[in-house]
Structure 1
Amino acid sequence: MEVAEAWERYAQGRTPRRETNASGARTWLNWTQYADHGPDESILGDLQGRTVLELGCGTGCNLAHLSTLGAICTGVDIAPSQHKKAVARWGGLPGLTFHTAEVAEYLSRTDTLFDVVLSIFGPVWFTDPEQFLPLIRKRLSPGGVLTFSHKPPTKGTEPVGTLREARAVTRWDYTPEEWSVLLASSGYSNSGAETVPPPGDQEAGTLLVRAYA
């Protein structure tokens, strides 16, 4: 599959996450494209005992952190090398499993309901939301939350673009208002979005969106 091959090439060129962050923590959650910046997992509420699914989990570093907080975590990524790295680094943590799959296919075949679904610069940004958002909604438990982040669209760009690192991959660059409409039409409620300002002299912020089942 062309898309899977593109993401595998992208994954192989990625630098592994640091062993510790600026505060010395071994695990942490990062919503933005900048190290040690932005909100943490507290925006998700108490995670003890909750089921969490990350779509496009990469090497599992964000999920590993949620696992240490008592969440029961499942990660799905299309790139086989990401699964290998995730298991090698985090396979010993309890309540944490990883799968190699195309995320829409995974959502279509699983019967599991999740309390939290995450996509951090992941498939929600790179999959047709009119088909994808309803798939996620069906797998959310009552009151469950979908939270995702990506770079906000820049002025003058079209909503649909192409990932520079993976030419086979389409990107949906929507504004907070556009996401609100799409989420509402897919059965979500109480959606909200914010742009997390960038640190220092950086120009691009991060769009952070939440919506509830």
Structure 2
Amino acid sequence: MFLPLAFSLALDSAAPSVPPPARYQYEGFIDGKTVGNNSLTLKRGPDEYIVDEKADAHLPTGDQSAATHMTLDNQLRPTDYSATYTVFDEPAKATVSFSDRVATMVMGSDTKTIPMGGSSRSFIVLDTSLVSGYFLLPAQVRAFAGADLTAIIPGQGGSAFLNVIPNDRPARPSDVPAGDVSISFAGEIPFVEWYEPSTLILDELSMPVQNLVVKRRR
């Protein structure tokens, strides 16, 4: 569902490196109607971060669900990712491992090797209908000082090269807290993220082309 190509970020030098370890819940809307729910848990280990997510979507074309597990090092670089999808009652699995500047993606019997983009400083994971990768973007872009990134998109078996576009100022939605700042992504499917600069917690993700809005449930 999510296919980002490029983005920009307003940075806050006082922000922590990651949102607080906790459980976070999000609800997706298309044309104002609920279409899905996502629940993710962020944990911190001695030298790593772990994000687990469960998601359910109820679309006109049918129901979908997914469960994912992602591990990142203490610099917020992904080290491994696994996902189990159920799309219209059909199960599928994907795994991604990362080594230096190469990602290896396995889906069923297919294996694909994806090199990091030439000017990228890190891989990130942005799966198709899942929130966890988007949730981490403010922290990751801050960690890599706004550098270019290569996004792995396991649910579609592909990748996208992401470059920061500075100085975007999107209109603030009426339900976004006044203190939030934004990340804007321009591309085939543009989207905007609003997050708390003091915690880096994602409050809202919007994709106007798809009339899609994902909001944090408090």
Q: TM-score range by the shorter chain?
A: 0.3 to 0.5
Report the TM-score, using the length of structure 1 for normalisation. Answer: 0.32
Which structure carries more relative contact order (alpha carbon 8 Å, separation 6+)? 2
TM-score (norm 2): 0.32
Greater helix share, structure number: 1
Structure number with the higher strand fraction is 2
